[in-house]
Structure 1
């Protein structure tokens, strides 16, 4: 194929207070019976009712499904799709973090298909998605995953993760309202924020990057790196929350079109085997992967360092790329995330099986600017275990 293929969600509303667009969107789709898929924690703090109460007052019939968990296993997806198939819904709303949004996409599309969810997974695909399914509106309450603008749904398997991917999983509308992120706890703010930063950085160095995605990636890096510590330290900081929200949104657009690579490939087994939250898996691995592949993308890493606000005097491109990896490690540490695999209580003997699962993620690894085989992956895990950046 000549040139670059760029795909974006058909419609997005962004900015403080943009949730006000939800009712007009429901009316536009002629919805009456609405399934809301959300995180149980959001019900407990009253955020779900803030969204659904106005809908019920307008006469919409609302059913809330919250039987979901972070890093949802395949079984959770199967159960939700079966539930949706049995219901009489005409629109799906996903409200929450990446897990809720991914499951909402899955339910909206696969409810009009036959067969198990497993049969549509990337690694074991035996069935093909053929129909668009129900309209879906995705409303993130974190600034991190970018799920509201991507066409994938991630599920955890026994030791790793896999995805269902198709453009029919794209939202009909995304509503990205930073006001909904104010109640996010500090550690979740940190993990999802560095998840978004990882999306921006990996899409920038991806072999599929182009001038459009690079622009999105760099601005996302700028917004997130300048605001994440303020958002973690003071969740009520409106400007920091706005920066993080836009940064996550832009990073989502970038990585959906340019792809992510080695960090995500190595992070998936951490989530699958040790149930480490996805954002934290990315955060602990990001500096070690960037340090290892530095020679293949030193100019871009130097640009990232400058975009993050560091312009060391007389630093060469090579020196700047080294400083970039070091700064990424320091940023994770400053936001309270462990910066070694030891910090997550992972034993050294687990590195071999982690490597065996990571090498299976060929869809991700093929985008890396440096070829990462089993030997290279093992070395990166070892560096992340030791806490020593490998240059």
Structure 2
């Protein structure tokens, strides 16, 4: 029997109203200065004040940092790390989607290190993380990224993405309160929700899957599949938001331990070159990657079909895997995400540069149940451009 390494964030609070645990947890660290990292929209709509006001009311010195952008480029990370080092903060809180949380944990850890962020990148960096850095609390306001329970910070480069990764980037405390997601607009709910679903799907199909990650992944798929359409159409539906929040959190635990693979590997260049959101980049590629690798994992895709709400009881695994891909196509379409790269105005001329950048994502590609080489990646991008699912030969 193979050995599985399982890692989880030290402490998590989940459930409606769990934000009430923030002040008691902050008090345990007795910080003099707190840095809260969020995006300008959350500050504008007053959601960030739900974090900063209770802290200030309890006498904490809070600095709100809002220079966060979607798919943050390396320069944004460099700027925040410098700000954190110079500010002499003692606790970092990340509030928002994946970008805010990724930047917050990056700043917390690299505040105690020297040199630029670029030196710590996975693909090209030469330095290694050695210190835990500042304590960090992560509070998601979307149901999608799972950043609150992973050890990765994703940054956009000129034409692709890279990560800083180390277990020191894990949150000391994660607070997952679905009440904070009610104001998320339909388009973002759809993109982040499909992203969470993909985390679970790819974790279940990963070559690094384990019985523990399998259980988490299938439950995440069940929760998201039964609630995402309602969450998109009825943003204030409490149960749908609770299901999506729990599904995203559990999917994060699953993919952190089993990993994601081909969908994410090919989505990184798409986001890097054309600045399509991470969720949409993943969503548009999902059916094409799953269709291409289908024959390598038919039994597991039959399981996924059942978790999606289908029924494989009277089907062969091969038939069920076809139905699984069809259901994923239907789900992406139902929540309003474009069905092909051409619908995102990606030119055909870009397919080769996407392929060349996709090949570089070896950390992710290594987890695919079907090994994906350069020609495989080229075929998948072509099929996603044309809106036509093809299978590996």
Q: Same fold (TM over 0.5)?
A: yes
SS of aligned partner of 1:293: helix
Residue equivalent to 1:275? 275
Mark the CA change 1:204 to 1:2 in structure 2 (over 3 Å): closer, same or farther: closer
- The 5-angstrom pairing of residues 37-56 of structure 1 reads 37-56=37-56
CA distance in 2, matches of 1:110, 1:270: 28
1:20 matched to 2:20? The reply is yes
Per-residue CA deviations over 1:221-258 (Å, capped at 9, x if unaligned) read 00000000000000000000000000000000000000
1:1-391 residue pairs with structure 2 within 5 A? Answer: 3-311=3-311, 314-391=314-391
Aligned partner of residue 47 in structure 1, secondary structure: coil
Structure 2 distance, partners of 1:387, 1:53, is 48
Measured after TM superposition, the shift of residue 103 of structure 1 is 0.1
- Structural RMSD (CA): 1.0
> Are 2:98 and 2:145, in contact at CA under 8 Å, matched by a contact in 1?
yes
Post-superposition CA distance 1:55-87 (Å, at most 9, x none):
111101100001110000000000000000100
The Cα shift of 1:88 comes to 2.0
In 1, Cα distance between the equivalents of 2:390 and 2:221?
23
Assess if the C-alpha contact under 8 Å between 2:105 and 2:153 holds in 1.
yes
Report deviation, 1:329.
1.1
Distance in 1 between the 2:104 and 2:311 partners? 43
Contact kept? 2:19, 2:177, Cα under 8 Å: yes
State the 1:259 CA deviation: 0.3
Does structure 1 conserve the Cα–Cα contact (< 8 Å) formed by 2:305 and 2:312? no
Q: Cα deviation per residue 1:72-122 (whole Å; 9 max; x = unaligned)? A: 000000000000010021000000000000000000000110011000000
Aligned-residue offset at 1:312: 5.7
CA displacement at 1:313 relative to structure 2: 6.7
CA–CA separation in structure 2 for the residues paired with 1:32 and 1:19 = 21
Shift of 1:349: 1.3
Tell me the secondary structure at the aligned position of residue 27 of structure 2.
Answer: helix
Q: Which runs of 5 or more structure 1 residues have no equivalent in the other structure?
A: none
Structure 1 residue 32: Cα displacement: 2.4
Partner SS, residue 143 of structure 1: coil
Helix, strand or coil at the partner of 1:139: strand
In structure 2, list runs of 5 or more residues that go unmatched.
Answer: none
User: For 1:128-178, what per-residue CA distance to the aligned partner results, in whole angstroms no more than 9, with x for missing partners?
Assistant: 111000000000000000000000000000000000000000000000000
Give the Cα–Cα distance (whole angstroms) in 2 for the partners of residues 33 and 174 of structure 1.
20
The total of aligned residue pairs comes to 391
For the residues of structure 1 that align with 2:203 and 2:277, how far apart are their CA atoms?
Answer: 21
Structure 1 residue 182 displacement after superposition: 0.2
For normalisation by structure 1, the TM-score amounts to 0.99
Distance 2:82 2:139 in 1: 23
Cα distance in 2, alignment partners of residues 249 and 263 from structure 1: 19
Deviation of 1:19 after TM superposition, in Å, equals 0.2
Residues 317 and 178 of structure 1, relative CA distance in 2, 3 Å threshold: same
Shift of 1:315: 2.2
User: Does the CA-based 8 Å contact 2:19-2:175 persist in structure 1?
Assistant: yes
* Paired residue secondary structure (1:311): coil
Structure 1 consecutive aligned stretches of length 4 or more whose deviation exceeds 4 Å = none
Shift of 1:323: 1.1
